[in-house]
Amino acid sequence: MRYRLRNISLAVYNNIPLRLASPYIEEESPPLLRRGRGGISFPATTDFEEMQLALKAAERGGRRGEAPVGAVLVCGADRFVSYNLRECRNDPTAHAELLAIRKAAKKLSRWRLGGTLYVTLEPCAMCAGAILEARVTRLVFGAFDPKAGACGSVWNIIEERKVRHAIVVMGGVMEEESKDLLKEFFAGRRAEKRNL
């Protein structure tokens, strides 16, 4: 498994400059995946565990006919799990990230949430804005979205210099698993359309 690096040629970790000779870092070394204005982040064991939970949520959404995107927001000891519900609710804003943020804000009775948000797909512009507004501390996502990603693929709202809140962003954690889930879902949808 390879981890993709984006927009990093020179990084600093503990005041030590790191020069990256290759666009990829093998799994054996600790993967430095993405740097946000909030600093550099390395994935921890819990990142992979929480991404597994987000992938399970995405699978549940896929079984309901939704695009299989799952999210887990961890705020201290609390964990808020959700998946896309756009089709079920006929709501264009019912993305997994927004639903997790809404659940957390309601339960915790505050809008400054902090914590870490795990998502199987790079957030869109709407979700990136909500993540910033909720003051999420860290964002970890699986697959990059070359069509609508707002964390470096198409736009880079999260790392916009004019934004007052800095977030550590890490992309490509369990990227292949996230991509495979999306590919399988949309291949099934295309097959259904051909059979009609």
Nearest Cα residue to 122 out of 153, 144, 100: 144
List the catalytic residues.
97
Answer whether 70's CB lies under 8 Å from 55's CB: yes
39: which strand partners? 36
Return d(Cα 18, Cα 78) in angstroms, integer.
Answer: 35
Answer whether 128's CB lies under 8 Å from 100's CB: no
